[in-house]
Amino acid sequence: MCGTAIELKDKNYEKNYPSSLLDHALQKGWFGGVIEVDKHKNVTKFVLSRILKGEKELHVEKLEDIKPFVDAIKKSLSKK
C-alpha cells in the first residue's frame, strides 16, 4: 500500500481490503508516498496546499522497504 500517513496504515488496510483477503495475504507492506501540489489542479491544489500548510511537496517514500517485501513473498512462495 502507498500513502503519506503511516499512522493510518492499519486502519487503511481494514477500510480498503476485505478481511478474507488480509487473512490470506502472504505479506502486507507500506511504501510511503509523494504529494506534489503543483501537479494538481484547482480545488485539489487548494486543499493540498492547505493540508501541507503552504509546503509544495511531501515526500515519505519508503523505497528501501520494497526489496525486503518482495523477498518475503518469494520466500513464502518457495515454501509452498
- Could you tell me the residue range of the domain that residue 32 belongs to? 6-78
DSSP tag of 58: E
Is 1 part of a structural domain of the chain? no
Is 20 part of a structural domain of the chain? yes
Looking at residue 41, what is its pLDDT? 95
Residue 10's alpha-carbon distances to 3, 25, 79, in angstroms, are 12, 14, 27
* Residue labelled with grid coordinates 494538481: 40
The model carries a pTM of 0.70
CA distance 50 to 54: 6
Is 53 part of a structural domain of the chain? yes
Per-residue pLDDT of the chain (80 residues; tens, 9 = 90+): 888 888 988 898 899 999 999 998 889 999 999 999 999 999 999 999 999 998 999 999 999 999 999 999 999 899 86
Total domains in the chain come to 1
Looking at residue 2, what is its pLDDT? 84
